[in-house]
Amino acid sequence: MAKEEKQLNVRIKDGDQFFANEIGLNFTPTEIVLDFKCISNIHDIENHRALLLRHNPVILTPYHAKSFLEVLTKAVNDYERRFGEIKKPKEIDKAEKIMQKQREDNKTKEEKINDDVTYFG
């Protein structure tokens, strides 16, 4: 008895390429959400400044997130073997130092405020 062959038509719809300059991450007991974001400055017709935020969330099961981590780790290791170590850009390092100083300055101000507070009990 001959098997009947069935034809299966497959259609693939690729999404648009997406540049992400920021990522958010959240999780629940059953999901891990990677929210890839692209934040851009824009100017409208009247030259008003605004921010445009586009995002593409990717929802994974914890198992698939762990598999993704393994694949991504291998890809980064292969990249670095081929092209050299990936280093943090100097501009990001400088921005982080500025933000750290601002946090320390704000903390010092809060400590000074707290030193002046008295409680009557």
pLDDT for the residue 26: 96
Number of Cβ atoms within 10 Å of the Cβ of 32: 19
d(CA 71, CA 92): 26
Across the range 51-65, mean pLDDT stands at 93
Domains in the chain: boundaries: 18-85, 88-116
**pTM of this prediction?**
0.63
Tokens of 86: 């990936």
44-57 confidence digits (pLDDT tens): 777 777 888 889 99
Predicted pLDDT of residue 58: 95
Degrees to nearest 5, angle at CA 23 with 75 and 13: 70
pLDDT in tens, 79-106: 999 999 999 999 999 999 999 999 888 8
Q: State the DSSP string of 10-41.
A: ----PPPP---SEEEEEE-SS-EEEEEEEEEE
